[in-house]
Structure 1
Amino acid sequence: MKRTLTILGLAAAVALPSVASAETLRMAFSSAPQSIDPYPFGGTPTASLKEHVFEALVAADDSPLLAESWAWTSPTSLEVKLRQGITFHDGGALTARDVIYSACRMMYLIDGKRNLLTSSMGPITDIVAVDDHTVRFDMNAPYPLWVQKMKFLSILPASGGDVPEGPIAYDAEGNCGIASYPSRADFESGDAAIGTGPYKLVRFDKSGEADLEKNPDYWGGAPEWDEVQIRTIGNAGARLAGLLAGDFDLIENPTTEDLPGLEANDELTYTAIPSWRSIFLLLDVNPEGAPGVSAADGSAPLADIRVRQAMSMAINRDAIAERLFGGEATVANQFAPSYRTGAPELPALAYDPEKAKALLEEAGYADGFTIDFYAPSDRYANGARVAQAVTQYLSRVGITVNLKTEPWSVFAGKRRDKELGVFMYGWGHPQGAAQMISFAFASRDNDLGLGASNYSNYQNDAFDAAMKAWAVETDDDKANEFVGQAMRVAVEDLPGIPLYYQHTIWAHRADLVVNGRQDERTSATTVSRK
């Protein structure tokens, strides 16, 4: 079998070999990056682009990046030592001042909108430059998750803002005594897109195009590629056609139907890995009712656990993994990938359509009910086909399903505005097994960074107690115990329905090696010549 299978290819590339001959790497994304501004957005396409240019204190796999080391000096204070000798693309040296400035920019509302880490930084009360290469994060309570959260705080040069002389005094509103920050437009024009990463931004276009050039002074060694071109082709067939025509060297997310053809082509191959992304249905369990969900008697079907259990039992996950993905997906039995560190051991979720019908009848819905089921049409590999399969499974047990597949830009806005009662979604887990459930199912707690994305209107005291205990537990084994407790409650209550864990596939030239990453990011730093 010609394909390449990589299991653990995530570690940040901090030592990139230089090569004698120049070559441009041409990559086709399946979804467009939303911006080169590193703070407002957290989607995988945006992260894939921005990490070429910007770096954080901690790498995606929790290893040191711009930070050399860190240590808890008290239960509520984390001291971080910065690497020395690192420079930004404009030649300025990295110091603790830049870290504080970056945290302030993260907390500052740009155009009145919150940024990626705004809620997660709630426990941070102060950030202090101990010296030029040491920064201390002070918190209002133990917050061990901050070590993992730091991977999302891209570090910018303080010279990019209108910053008065003297120490920067951090505050939770991001004002910090700073007169002005660069806008999103400043980043997208390239003026403010200055980081410490292996590549420099040459051009960004909101259509999903970006051009990069190597940073010859990169602290981790000169990058493999002199130039990198990123294009976005939403249609899988068009992406593959571009690869076959020689327009691209690597593309994301070929369909499973494409794989046999790649196997038969001596010039091409593919790399597949199990990713950190769970694909699931999210259900609004509000007893007052959910948008797009209606029953003849005016009740709220999704508020009944028997209905949620029936919906879960109606879905044949094994068939989805085997028939739609050709085995390049792992059947889910919980909301985090079962192979993710810290995930509990749980039994398989049953497929039993007859029992599903009996549960619906017991709950008073023998004649079914109606749901509007939303799914993004251009976000997940085979996503539209999976949504169609789920629609068929639910229909077979008597639920009337109006499937609505929409472009991500439309879908994401409706999700944000809480207009969706039932939708299919994917959630990555770079912060561990608790990441999704801590955001999606916990009651909102800004101090602990919990419940920021609770679109299910779910609340369970036992679940919340386990999540709150996990959020302040610094012992990994004990923290995992709390994750297991919470996960078991969530799988029992089903405010969502786990479907499968996505595998990520890249099709590429056969003379390239792709060290695929579990976080699904497509990066030039993972691609090399054989």
Structure 2
Amino acid sequence: MKFSKTMKALGLTAAVALAPLMASSAQAAGTLTTAVAIDPASWDPIDTFLVDWSSAANNIYDGLTARGADMKLTPALATSWEFLDDNKRIRFKLRENVKFHNGEPFNAQAVKFTFDRLLGEEGRKGPQQSNYNSIERVEVVDDNTVDFIMKQPDPVLLTKLAGYGAMIVPPKYVQEKGDDYFNTHPVGTGPFKFVEYNPKDRLILEANPDHWGGAPKLDRLVFRFISEANTQVAELQAGRIDVATLIPFGLAPTIEKSQNLSLMSVTGPTVVSLRFNTKDGITKDVNVRKALIMGVDRDAIIKAVLLGHGKPIASFQSELSFGNDPALKPLPFDLAKAKQMLQAAKVPAGAPVRIDFRGNDATFREVAQATAGYLQALGLKPALQPHEPPVLLNDIIPNGKTGEAWHQAWGGWTFDYDNNAYLMYHSGEKWNPYYNDAKLNEMLEKQRLVYDVKEREKILQEIARYVADQALELPLYNQNTIYGVNKRVKDFDAPADRRFRYTKTSVE
């Protein structure tokens, strides 16, 4: 079988691949420049779910909790918390003598305002509110204490408080300036303060010397919005950016060989699979689904297309995910056994297998081509159907219009299997147009009511084993998070989830 070249698939030119390195002194002293793919258009925490928002805004805002590149959850604007009244009330003690960038004091009223706003009319306009609907209300106990009154248990809440919608915002500033102004002139309590925002171009921040965690070592952060991967690499090679977040797998060796650049490849949250149509076609038979899994050599795809920057998976989560079961192993590649299983299931030669996928994903296009080659070797007739992402994600999948299989990639910054599993497998969810299993629904619902870590982990692992036994998807790989970094950058912690926190980082 032949695999297409990653370079060609991405449309990269030799000029980009071999762009001459320019001196890193093109960057000003004390300034670090990072390229991200997407301009979020609003810097309000309740307006987005984009990772690129958090790549920058994680430096502007603080949450009640924090999670660093080491994946450990730590106190932030809350110094401690305790569960009261049979877990129906969570009491947070707040950090004292903290100020927002505009001088406004951080206190219990700011926390209440933040969550009243998130759970109210303004929050309803954005995508974050549903992540916090387990909270009924926030009550002020005193200036430095708040209670979260819970509608229902939420064992992932403490992690959620470390990101996105839960970032604490200044009440007076938001009320006086209005939501539209706040969208483009953000104010938080974080280690860097807003300076300038040029839509579709860049966001500029400067160090907050009075940050409660200590002053950053950098003077200034610049986030440039560069959507093309080859352009990011060219700018990195030219010394005009210090950190690139879009690195094509085919160009990883070029960066590794560079004298002035480093390639950082870490296990990330992103997992990729082919989900199966369990209602129609040959894939409604569980034994056929297992045969298709065994008929595709995932290790070869990781080696040839991802150039080794990924790992095989047995369930739709990375090894860093809470709920991952290291004892659960992927079905092995066995072409002969897969053929026997298809024959036993009386699948006719040339049976169609259509794969719907995101047409803008050049890497997955290669993966799909490789997968089609294996399916053809099984005696099937694969067809690749690319779609514009909004069409695939908002119409084809949720309305059950897919072929026998479809492309699903998922991150989930919480690194909790619930974030993937509930949305993928519970009946009635957007990403589950076909499968309805009362037993699976019950397990998914049960783990959401459990705070005990060991008990909940056991249930999540049972879910992963059950899904694997039902062969609801062909788990392909856990894709590494890859960065290209100029060697003038020191003490750079490569976050698996691309949520940078440049407090200890410096530049030469």
Which residue in 2 is equivalent to 1:28?
35
- DSSP 3-state at the match of 2:79: strand
Equivalent position to 2:384, from 402, 406, 416:
402
What residue number does 2:408 align with? 424
| Cα distance in 1 between the residues matched to 2:37 and 2:401 | 24
Q: Which residue of 2 aligns with 1:493?
A: 470
Deviates more, 1:128-137 or 1:333-342: 333-342
Tell me the secondary structure at the aligned position of residue 340 of structure 1. coil
1:516 to 483, 494, 499: 494
Report the counterpart of residue 42 of structure 1 in structure 2: 49
Could you tell me how far 1:36 is from its partner in structure 2? 1.6
- The whole-number CA distance in structure 1 between the counterparts of 2:173 and 2:330 is 52
Task: Measure the CA separation in 2 of the matches of 1:196 and 1:415.
Answer: 42
Q: How does 1:359-378 map to 2 (within 5 A)?
A: 359-361=341-343, 362=345, 364=347, 366-375=349-358, 377=360
CA contact under 8 A between 1:79 and 1:137: conserved in structure 2? yes
Residues 125 and 405 of structure 1, relative CA distance in 2, 3 Å threshold: same
Q: Distance in 2 between matches of 1:522 and 1:235?
A: 20
Match of 2:219 among 226, 234, 243: 226
Tell me the distance in 2 between the aligned counterparts of 1:327 and 1:341.
24
2:321 and 2:415 in contact (8 A); partners too: no
Contact 2:73 2:159 in 1 (8 A): yes
> Which residue is 2:4 aligned to?
none
Alignment root-mean-square deviation, CA: 2.8
Mapped to 2, the partners of 1:416 and 1:217 lie a distance apart of 48
Q: In structure 2, what is the equivalent of residue 352 of structure 1? A: 334
1:418-457 Cα shifts (integer Å, max 9, x gaps):
476322312235242333112321246xxxxxx5x54344
- Distance in 1, matches of 2:201 and 2:381, equals 38
**Distance in 1 between the 2:287 and 2:35 partners?**
44
- For residues 202-254 of structure 1, the C-alpha deviation after alignment (integer angstroms, 9 at most, x for no partner) is 33345263222222222211222222111232332221111111111111132
Once the two structures are superposed, the pairs formed by residues 337-486 of structure 1 within 5 Å of their partners are 337-344=318-325, 345-361=327-343, 362=345, 364=347, 366-375=349-358, 377=360, 382-397=363-378, 398-404=380-386, 406=388, 412-414=393-395, 418=399, 421=402, 422-443=406-427, 453-486=430-463
Q: Do 2:205 and 2:220's aligned partners in 1 also have CA atoms closer than 8 Å?
A: yes
**Match of 2:131?**
120
Structure-1 separation of matches of 2:245 and 2:228: 11
CA 254–182 in structure 1, closer or farther in 2 if over 3 Å, else same: same
Identify the residue that residue 87 of structure 1 maps to in structure 2.
99
In structure 2, the partner of 1:133 is 144
The TM-score, its normalising length taken from structure 2, stands at 0.83
Structure 2 matches for 1:316-327, cutoff 5 A? 316-327=297-308
Q: Deviations over 1:1-59 (max 9, x none)?
A: xxxxxxxxxxxxxxxxxxxx952211112444353221132232122122121221111
Contact 1:252/1:522 (CA < 8 Å) preserved in 2? no
Give the whole-Å Cα distance in 2 for the aligned partners of 1:221 and 1:142. 35
Cα deviation 1:98-141 (Å, max 9, x = unaligned): 1122112222344963431x223233222111111111111233
CA distance in 2, matches of 1:22, 1:78: 45
* Code of the aligned partner of 1:486: I
Q: Name 1:330's counterpart in structure 2.
A: 311
Paired with 1:415 and 1:88, the residues of 2 have a C-alpha distance of 44
1:73-105 deviation per Cα after TM superposition (whole angstroms, max 9, x unaligned): 122111111111111111111111111221122
* DSSP-derived class of the 1:129 partner: strand
Note if contact 1:308-1:494 (Cα within 8 Å) is conserved in structure 2.
yes
Which residue in the other structure is 2:183 paired with? 188
The separation in 2 between residues aligned to 1:114 and 1:339, in whole angstroms, is 28
Conserved 8 A contact 1:148-1:431: no
Residue in structure 2 matched with residue 156 of structure 1 by the alignment: 169
For residues 467 and 453 of structure 2, the distance between their equivalents in structure 1, rounded to whole angstroms, comes to 21
2:481 aligned with 1:528, yes or no? no
| Aligned partner of residue 151 in structure 1, secondary structure | coil
Structure with the largest fraction of helix: 2
SS at match of 1:478: helix
Amino acid corresponding to residue 187 of structure 1 in structure 2? F
Contact 1:188–1:204 (Cα < 8 Å) also in 2: no
Structure 2 counterpart of 1:503, from 472, 480, 491: 480
Q: What's the CA shift for 1:327?
A: 1.9
Please give the alpha-carbon distance, in whole angstroms, between the structure 2 residues aligned to 1:83 and 1:315. Answer: 53
Amino acid in the other structure paired with 2:171: A
Change (3 A) 1:365 1:209: farther
Kept after mapping to 2: 8 A contact 1:442/1:463? yes
**Counterparts of 1:46 and 1:419 in 2: how far apart (Å)?**
31
Which letter maps to 2:356? Answer: F
Q: Contact between 2:249 and 2:305, CA under 8 Å: does it hold in 1?
A: yes
Q: CA deviation at 1:323?
A: 1.7
Aligned to 1:313: 294
| TM value normalised by structure 1 | 0.80
Deviation at 1:358, TM superposition (A): 4.5
SS at match of 2:115: helix
- CA distance in 2 between counterparts of 1:396 and 1:522 reads 44
Q: Secondary structure at the match of 1:59?
A: strand
How far does residue 357 in structure 1 lie from its aligned partner after superposition?
Answer: 4.3
Q: Write the distance in 1 (CA, Å) between the matches of 2:190 and 2:392.
A: 32
Amino acid across the alignment from 1:470 = Q
Contact residue 272 and residue 409 of structure 2 kept, 8 A = yes
Distance in 1, matches of 2:84 and 2:456, equals 20
Shift in Å at residue 412 of structure 1? 4.8
Alpha-carbon deviation of 1:462? 2.3
Please report how far the alpha carbon of residue 269 of structure 1 lies from its aligned counterpart in structure 2 after TM superposition. Answer: 1.5
**Other structure's SS at 2:483 match:** strand
Question: Contact 1:463–1:485 at 8 Å: present in 2 too?
Answer: no
Shift of residue 399, structure 1, vs aligned partner: 3.7
Q: Which moved more, 1:342-351 or 1:239-248?
A: 342-351
Structure 2 distance, partners of 1:456, 1:143, is: 25
Q: Which residue does 1:5 correspond to in 2? A: none
Question: Cα distance 1:401–1:72, how it changes in 2: closer, same or farther (>3 A)?
Answer: same
Structure 2 Cα separation of the partners of residues 162 and 187 of structure 1: 9
What residue ranges of structure 1 are gaps of 5+ in the alignment? 1-20, 164-180, 288-298, 445-450
The residue aligned with 2:262 is 269
Q: Do 2:274 and 2:474's aligned partners in 1 also have CA atoms closer than 8 Å?
A: yes
CA distance in 2, matches of 1:376, 1:426: 16
Pair 1:27–1:133, CA change in 2 (3 A): same
Once the two structures are superposed, the pairs formed by residues 136-215 of structure 1 within 5 Å of their partners are 136-152=147-163, 153-162=166-175, 182-183=178-179, 185-190=180-185, 193-207=186-200, 209-215=202-208
* Structure 2 residue runs without a partner (length 5+): 1-27
2:235 counterpart of 1:242: yes
